[in-house]
Structure 1
């Protein structure tokens, strides 16, 4: 019988697993390496000269098809859970395109050569077979070379740090909300149904930042008798043939009957004595208070030009007006880079200079910056879905499978690009697996892993 449970990581999946187990009366200790809960769904508070600013780790929105999960979040956050609306644009070569594509904007904005090339591709694509060899071939065989070279190639290479020919087609099939160039053409027509089928216009968002959801879950977990040990780094695991017998953290040996882990899949393999070739893409989030009430009406701007260091520009107050002091705004630049790279190691002062150059190029006056800035980092922000990653992922899953008291869940731990609600559902599945005495590990790894777009309209 499982008496004591150790949950590793206080992000969405770990917190949900710990909460469900504590609610069932189990003895649970949650170990978190940072000073606060939330993981990459946390919110950082910055006290500036004009007041309090709040920045998430990237751009989060709560969308879900699960009414019970929505009800839980609504109950925990209460009246501070707002409804927000998304508006996005694509910035490329000095032009601003509406996202999703709209016929009037495209005809008015796109250069003649791009429109002509896309038209020619539209005429020839019906004679090509879909090619799923890589991200590049997936896009070219469905959308044509013109759109690939203009909107996908440079942005994707900047985001992942690799040639799109070496990126798995899975990334395209799960992230591109249109089927092919014919679908683009159909949806550009001014009809009521012209919006891509999976575009979530509205979403729920806490008044004081996305991390509030997980702060509330953490406090409820503690109220139920659970324990959270912050600033606890997992250094190793003690294993026998089919059991995790102990873990080592901050020089201490910790023994539990069951281990639920949100530690990344390759890191857990290494902690248990194995090797893994799986890799992640890191992101540096550069945060800047601004001396203006509003920058734009866009939730985020996709920055496709390769010479612009960021991939997205976000204005946090577009999600909630309470993310900045009254009369002021802020910006966040999402800069893909890996640990120990030049961009990762660059000082905030030097990065601020580069950010100002990029903002001026984008038509956002850098003189509006207050001169305050800071960075947050996500070393394992995105699973790197390079060609052949599925084989390495299965090797890692197989290596950990014999340890029958270890359950992996969450984005990093299952090596999946998933949204927050899916990570929370994985945590719930892990908890129920323990409570019911059933091995659901494979189901957790495969949860919502269909080869379709994973952003869906929320029940909210």
Structure 2
């Protein structure tokens, strides 16, 4: 029996394991997971009866393989009638859909609201051209933005940077208001230093033109079909009742039921090879090094660490891998009595809180990058969603810097003060409970040696039985569905004996389907 060694128990690793186990081929499947948790960045952290989603994860994909896979893992709540947008516990369920009050294993249909908070005003994200947007911008700023956009249409910049990518689609004024500050917070680099590839992957065809087209199409009889909508403009998505980790824990249980093994707290340190084949890995468990041999190896560990652990790496490839940058972040969960934000939308919510899943913080006067409102992802993420609000505050940093090293108490004080400064909280005294999580290598970054990735990919592809999958495995800002798709392709190659790995690396490179900057 052939042995498949899979590094990492996140979405890519678990998907690959299940696809191999279900293939009907005789494979012994072993997953090595460095941490003690399932799901990678898609895990759900549990704390005192509350749940935190690390990063925020929308379950929506135009890839039917992914949607079918999710449906199989966890039944979907039926679609709500278009005139019924109450998405709390009192949601009306269409016949045939599971009732979340009666079952735990269900994906809820959620209302997708993400907005920008800029100078104490809300703006739709993606940016819309509604009256509220124009009113909040003011007459003069609206005029400037309009002339700036038309100027960008007439004089296109060469897209040598992310800054030029955004300016070409929104104009200089809207770029400065809604993209520049947040992007620099996220990456720690100005957009002029970041490759335009990131925009191509995460923003796709989103632009002022796309927004206008979307608005006009919805005015037509019958509106716009879901398949035609830009991924960045979708209005509904699915979400596991108890957070994304629930789905991946379900997947892990299925791996074990089918005979697969998941070894926790096993950190891969070395990758051994002979010629063009990987032969074994050495992993660290409880301070002791152990060796595991295999026939095929699928790696979702950071490609930087993968190459660092390999033998006889050429100098050029070692240099590329060593120079690949990442961005880390800290999430601070705060349980508060209320937010100092009025729900001025037509969307009904439990407790009548603002309906946002995410709030992007563009103001450069605070370090806070984004706010998650867990109540709106699922009312089951906290014990009393009608009386309390459970939020996650995302701060981008580098592992080892002053922010990364701050302890939880300092983070709670710092985050609370920023919310008061922004007008989101009336007082820091409203914080009833808190929890902090650090996340390493959350975002593969598109600068430094990133532009030399093709050289590294070519070399890694020379190992016939090594398959790089997932976000960090490919150093690509993949969402869950993209990460899963890399595993589908890798397993297909293994089963068919295909040596060319271009199909695996090409997932999420076509500009016909990408997400906006959701930082999943």
Same fold (TM over 0.5): yes
Deviations 1:88-145 (A, max 9, x none): 2111122221233132012210133421211221343333024201011222233222
Query: Shift of the alpha carbon at 1:425?
Result: 1.8
The answer to whether the aligner puts 1:261 opposite 2:295 as a matched pair is no
Cα separation, 2, equivalents of 1:22 and 1:201 = 35
- The aligned counterpart of 1:60 is 57
Residue in 2 that maps onto 1:85: 111
Tell whether the 8 Å contact from 1:55 to 1:209 is kept in structure 2 after alignment.
Answer: yes
Counterparts of 1:124-135 in structure 2 under 5 Å?
Answer: 124-135=151-162
Shift of 1:290: 2.1
Q: How does 1:19-418 map to 2 (within 5 A)?
A: 19-23=18-22, 24=24, 25-47=26-48, 52-78=49-75, 79=98, 80-100=106-126, 101-176=128-203, 180-183=207-210, 192=219, 197-198=230-231, 199-250=233-284, 251-273=289-311, 274=313, 275=318, 276=321, 277-292=323-338, 295-326=353-384, 327-365=387-425, 366-367=427-428, 369-386=430-447, 389-391=450-452, 393-418=453-478
Q: Which has the higher contact order (CA 8 A, sep 6+)?
A: 1
With 23-32 and 294-303 compared, the bigger mean Cα shift is at 294-303
CA distance in 1, matches of 2:130, 2:421: 26
CA contact (8 A) 1:173 1:452 kept: no
C-alpha offsets along residues 181-217 of structure 1, whole Å, 9 cap, x if unaligned?
4555666779627997331211111101111111111
Unaligned runs of 5+ in 1: none
Partner SS, residue 27 of structure 1? strand
2:328 aligned counterpart, secondary structure: strand
Shift of 1:175: 2.9
Higher mean displacement: 309-318 or 196-205: 196-205
Alignment size in residue pairs: 450
The answer to which of 362-371 and 268-277 deviates more is 362-371
Give TM-score scaled by structure 1 length. Answer: 0.92
**Contact 1:54/1:208, CA 8 A, preserved across alignment:** yes
Paired with 1:389 and 1:252, the residues of 2 have a C-alpha distance of: 32
CA RMSD in angstroms, aligned pairs only: 2.3
Change (3 A) 1:141 1:98: closer
Q: TM-score, normalised by structure 2?
A: 0.81
Question: CA 1:189/1:328 → structure 2, altered by over 3 Å: closer, same or farther?
Answer: same
- Whole-Å separation in 1 of the counterparts to 2:374 and 2:500: 38
Q: Secondary structure at the match of 1:36?
A: coil
Contact 2:358/2:372 (8 A) holds in 1: yes
The one-character-per-residue Cα deviations of 1:16-74 (angstroms, maximum 9, x if unpaired) are: 11111122341111110111210001100111xxxx11011111011112334323322
Rate the CA distance shift 1:440–1:11 in 2: closer, same or farther, 3 A.
Answer: farther
Distance 2:503 2:43 in 1: 27
Gaps of 5+ in 2: 76-97, 99-105, 339-350
